[in-house]
Amino acid sequence: MAGFQVDSDTRGVRDNHIGAMKPISICKLCKNEATLISAHVTPRSFWEIDAAQPPPRIVTNIKGVFPRRIPIGVYDQTIVCEPCERSFSDYDSYAAQLFLNRFNEFEEVRDSNRRLTGYVLRDADYRSLKLFAIAILWRAAVSSHSFFSRVRLGPFEEKAREMLLRGDPGDAATFATLFSVWDEAQAFMMDPFAERWDGVLSYRFYLGRFVTYVKVDSRPLPEQLAKAALAQGCPLHVISRQLAVSKDFRVAQHILTYEINRRRRG
């Protein structure tokens, strides 16, 4: 794979004034003919977390793609036109502001043994956060980039598109969304993947230190997870996770070790 941009398949329309061919494609959101732009699936702000730190390392087990640092992230020119990309701006900006600049406003939640279990914020904007999660999910599903190749929504893809067009976040059970954070961890990005909670399908998306989980299933979440899901009029819960003891860390460590050994052999 050459680089981390995907270009659109286009056809040309001649501009009679200048005699040039103007590339035209179909926007996957509005379905209109338009010039598509380079757009991020994961908002760029989550790749530029701290100027004093190196950019997040991309970690993936996709064959032939090796760990690397990408300062501006993964982007794709096959998804949307500029007006549709702007329609995501408020959701993306709100989430970035909340998690990257206002996380110190969250209250710590501890269990009876004083162990940190999560964080809570009383006044989160349900609509903006929910549409942020749905937008990431939908963009990943329709992206032509190999980094998102494991995201397949089936009939839920069109449902997500229609909700984005209407600006409709749905109720808490529709594309139910949860968030977690790695405590004291350096930011990294793994490619999103599907997982099942008691048989209920969801997708996991990495946002530096933060992780978003989005249910893609008509069945409800298991009861304990449903209590932590984003909901209208309820506090926002962010689950605390320890990277060093997580399966994610073991997977990332294995991939990075493989890449180091591969380069030594090369």
Q: pTM for this structure?
A: 0.78
Residue for token pair 């939640």: 109
| Distance (Å, whole) CA 33 – CA 26 | 4
Q: What type of residue is 132?
A: F
Question: How many domains is the chain partitioned into structurally?
Answer: 1
Q: Residue 68's pLDDT is what? A: 47
Which residues constitute the domain of residue 172? 5-265
Statement: residue 79 has pLDDT above 70: yes
Mean pLDDT over the full length of the chain:
79
pLDDT above 90 as % of the chain: 54
Q: Is the pLDDT of residue 22 over 90?
A: no
- The more confidently predicted of residues 134 and 9 is 134
pLDDT category of residue 257 using cuts at 50, 70 and 90: very low
Most confident of 23-27, 171-175, 181-185: 171-175
Q: Mention every residue, 6+ apart, whose C-beta is less than 8 A from residue 29.
A: 79, 80, 81, 84, 87, 161, 164, 165
pLDDT of 194 strictly over 90: yes
Residues 142-156, mean pLDDT to the nearest whole number: 94
Q: What percent of the chain has pLDDT over 70?
A: 70
The more confidently predicted of residues 175 and 224 is: 175
